[in-house]
Amino acid sequence: MKKCSSAICLLLLLLNFVSVSTGRAERAPEITDLSGSVIDENGKPISDAKVVLIYKSWPGGRYRQQSLSAKTNKEGKFTFEDLYKTGDKTAFLVTLVKGGYCLQSEYVFNGDGEKLKPFEFKLAIAKNLTGQLVDEYKMPLKNIVVFPAKRKTKAGEEFFYYFQSGSSIAKPTDANGKIDLSYYQATIQECPLM
């Protein structure tokens, strides 16, 4: 059995621990938070806004989707603690719902598994959208649950919401078939309901 010199042994040991294929040191995966902040058009924090998160991951190559929710604090901030592991492929749909403000969402696909920077939302004040559902005989339809899945602005921006977490914006019609959807702008051209 041959003995290696201490310099060669040290070199072999270092090669086992350093990755040179990417040109940068590999970081150990860490469990990290997903966070963000919500302000109004004047830059003031919006507290008590509902934050709905659709978290997509592919553990072991299999697709997994979770629906989570949180509320913003007094400073308009939210956090989903210890949510995902860096280095893993993930995707996030973060949707903000607050009465009196337009629904807003952001979708991020994180294919490289990087640690994401905090989300930043600026919510516009909503004008109420009121409608009435009637049958073919013009009779009001009461207790019909309405779930608008997306909102589109005049500028073409689309904000959407997944059905499985829709209970926070789904609303039933009243006894006269009327419904108020305060998360959308007043005109159909501004916010068509899909």
Tokens of 116: 């994401």
CA distances 101 to 118, 143, 184, 194, Å, are 21, 24, 8, 19
Q: Nearest 5°: phi and psi at 106?
A: -145, 135
> What was the pLDDT predicted at 180?
79
> What was the pLDDT predicted at 85?
92
Give the amino acid at 146.
V
Q: Nearest 5°: phi and psi at 150?
A: -155, 165
Please list, residue by residue across 48-83, b when 16 or more beta carbons sit within 10 angstroms of its beta carbon and e when fewer do: ebbbbbbbbbeeeeeeeeeeeebebeeebbbebeeb
Tokens of 137: 């005989």
> What was the pLDDT predicted at 90?
95
| Domain ranges, ordered by start, for the chain | 31-123, 130-180
Q: Does the domain at residues 31-123 carry the CATH identifier 2.60.40.10?
A: yes
CA distances 119 to 15, 33, 68, 151, 173, Å, are 39, 11, 16, 19, 33
- Segments in the chain below pLDDT 50: 1, 7-24, 186-194
> What was the pLDDT predicted at 70?
95
- Helix or strand holding residue 76 (H, E): none
> What was the pLDDT predicted at 75?
98
> What was the pLDDT predicted at 97?
86
